[in-house]
Amino acid sequence: MSDDSFDVIVAGAGPAGSACAYALAREGKNVLLLERGDSAGAKNVSGGRLYTYALELLEPGMYLRAPLQRRIVREQVMLVEGRRATTLDAADPAWGEGVPQSHSVVRASLDEWFASEAEGAGAVFASGMRVDGLIEENGRIVGIRVGEDEMRAGVVVAADGVNSLLAQQAGLFPDVEARAVGVGVKETIELPDSVINARFGVSNEEGVARVAIGCTEGISGGGFLYTNKGSLSLGIVFNPEQAAANGRQIQEIFQDFKEQPGIAALIDGGTSVEYGAHLVPEIGYHGIPKRLHREGMLVIGDAAQFGINTGLVIRGMDLAIVSGLAAARAILKEGTPTGPAYMAELEELALLPTMRAYAEFHGIFGISRIFREYPALANQALGFLFNVDGKVPPPMLKKLLSVVKENVTFRQLAADAWKGYRSV
């Protein structure tokens, strides 16, 4: 049995763990970064859009050397009703020019790069090392176990993702509840850049982010599509409880999404090179456990349930990086930090205030008609407005009202508007 000792042990080399290890190692801390996968990123699944301000916070200019894919210059929202779809397309070639905004990323290369940055700054990085448990002495976490080996540290940072074994072992929160997470599936589809550029109306460095609503058979959730260099990331995120009650396999619903004409045309001829499924924190601020620290231990990233999903914007990687930086700053200030130093950094770096600002947003997903009736309504209304068949059209207002009535009652509309208003 070995008995190694470090200032800090970080468990998990996702964006949270690598950011934390990097920020500590560059200040001369003796850091061990452990990853259970064969390489950093080997086990990770993400939609693939990173809000790069987080890297800028970690170190000015860092985002310029990260393996980013395409700068997002087109934001699209697709409202799906079966084979029909209405797509809003907001484009601005200046988005993100010279400043960090958002870029598509491929997790395998991002995570590998990030862990190597931590290593380059002086951290010891070991992959293929699954942390199996914590060592506790006199009520304090003093290290971790990997198989038979024990490793000790002044602080253990749990960066082991959404279903954090370590935070659960530390008694900080029970098993993840189904209502608090989404299940995401994602496929990477290779296509030549020239094809991607032509289909999406962008140049080589520019990218598109699309969210889709109405493609989940009425289940709370939605689809996403990001353009990378030489590939597309296509996926769907669901509420697992509703998906289980729906009876159809997630893969079947995902297949329907891929066959939706508006999506099928974009991925046509592509080669599927990767498929994965993963949990994602869904309920935002109200899902954060009451305590994110124990004596000798801090919890960061998805393990702390840091996530924001507004339906249009999905944020997790940026919050993971910011929380990793917050933990590092607390450790650098206080040595072995008590929780308040970490919590203060989360405030200072605007992570908790931002999550509070979106705290009620999850209520939007309680409006079940967003996932079926309203996309249908939009498609039917626009279908009517664009239709020319040589016949005398019905009075426009009357027809539009009848389209509304076919999908929702005015009572439901008023109730949903009120709920939506209260959520934002």
For ligand FAD, the binding residue among 8, 9, 17, 376 (CB under 6 A) is 17
Contact 49, 228 (CB under 8 A): no
103 binds ligand FAD (CB under 6 A): no
* Among the residue ranges 57-65, 158-166, 359-367, 396-404, the one whose residues contact ligand FAD (CB under 6 A): 158-166
Which stretch, 22-30, 36-44, 196-204, 282-290, contacts ligand FAD (CB under 6 A)? 36-44
* x/- letters, 289..328, toward ligand FAD (CB under 6 A): ------------xxx---x------xxxxx-x--------
What is the footprint of ligand FAD within residues 255-284 (CB under 6 A)? 278, 280
- Least CB distance to ligand FAD at residue 131 (A): 4
The least distance separating ligand FAD from the CB of residue 263, rounded to whole angstroms, comes to 16
Q: Binding to ligand FAD (CB under 6 A): which residues in 64-93?
A: none
One symbol per residue from 217 to 256: x for binding ligand FAD (CB under 6 A), - otherwise; what is it? ------------------x-x-------------------
Confirm if 257 and 215 have CB atoms less than 8 A apart.
Answer: yes
Please pick, from the candidates 10, 29, 48, 123, the single residue that binds ligand FAD as defined by CB under 6 A. Answer: 48
Contact stretch for ligand FAD (CB under 6 A) within 29-37, 171-179, 331-339, 373-381 = 29-37
CB within 8 Å of 413: residues ≥ 6 apart: 404
What is the closest distance, in whole angstroms, from the C-beta atom of residue 386 to ligand FAD in the complex? Answer: 32
Residue 297 or 317: the one with the smaller Cβ distance to ligand FAD is 317
- Does residue 44 touch ligand FAD according to CB under 6 A? yes
Contacts with ligand FAD by CB under 6 A: the residue count is 41
Q: Is 186 in the site for ligand FAD (CB under 6 A)?
A: yes
Q: Of the two residues 2 and 138, which places its CB atom closer to ligand FAD in the complex?
A: 2
In terms of CB distance, is 47 or 100 closer to ligand FAD?
47
Q: 183 or 266, CB closer to ligand FAD?
A: 183
Q: Which long-range contacts (CB under 8 A, 24 or more apart) does 235-238 make?
A: 235/47, 235/184, 235/185, 235/186, 235/187, 236/184, 236/185, 237/47, 237/182, 237/183, 237/184, 237/280, 237/309, 237/314, 238/182, 238/183, 238/184
Position among 21, 23, 32, 36 found at the interface with ligand FAD (CB under 6 A): 36
* Interaction residues for ligand FAD, span 125-154 (CB under 6 A): 130-131
165 binds ligand FAD (CB under 6 A): yes
Q: Does 159 bind ligand FAD (CB under 6 A)?
A: yes
For residue 337, state whether it binds ligand FAD (rule: CB under 6 A). Answer: no
Pick the closer one to ligand FAD by CB: 172 or 237.
237
Is 45 near ligand FAD (CB under 6 A)? yes
Nearer Cβ to ligand FAD (183/364): 183
Residue 14, interface with ligand FAD (CB under 6 A)? yes
Taking the least distance from each CB to ligand FAD, the nearer of 148 and 389 is 148
Q: How far is the CB of 89 from ligand FAD (least distance, A)?
A: 19
Query: Quick one: three-class SS letters along the chain?
Result: CCEEEEEEEEECCCHHHHHHHHHHHCCCCCEEEECCCCCCCCCCCCCCEEECHHHHHHCCCHHHHCCCCCEEEEEEEEEEECCEEEEEEEECCCCCCCCCCEEECCHHHHHHHHHHHHHHCCCEEECCCCCCEEEEECCEEEEEEECCEEEEEEEEEECCCCCCHHHHHCCCCCCCCHHHEEEEEEEEEECCHHHHHHHHCCCCCEEEEEEEECCCCCCCEEEEEEECCCEEEEEEEECHHHHHHHCCCHHHHHHHHHHCHHHHHHHCCCEEEEEEEEEEECCHHHHCCCCCEECCEEECHHHHCCCEECCCCEECHHHHHHHHHHHHHHHHHHCCCCHHHHHHHHHHCCHHHHHHHCCCHHHHHHCHHHHCHHHHHHHHHHHHHHCCCCCCCCCHHHHHHHHHHHHCCHHHHHHHHHHHHHHC
Under the rule (CB under 6 A), what is the footprint of ligand FAD?
11-17, 34-37, 43-50, 130-131, 159-161, 165, 184, 186, 235, 237, 278, 280, 301-303, 307, 314-318, 320
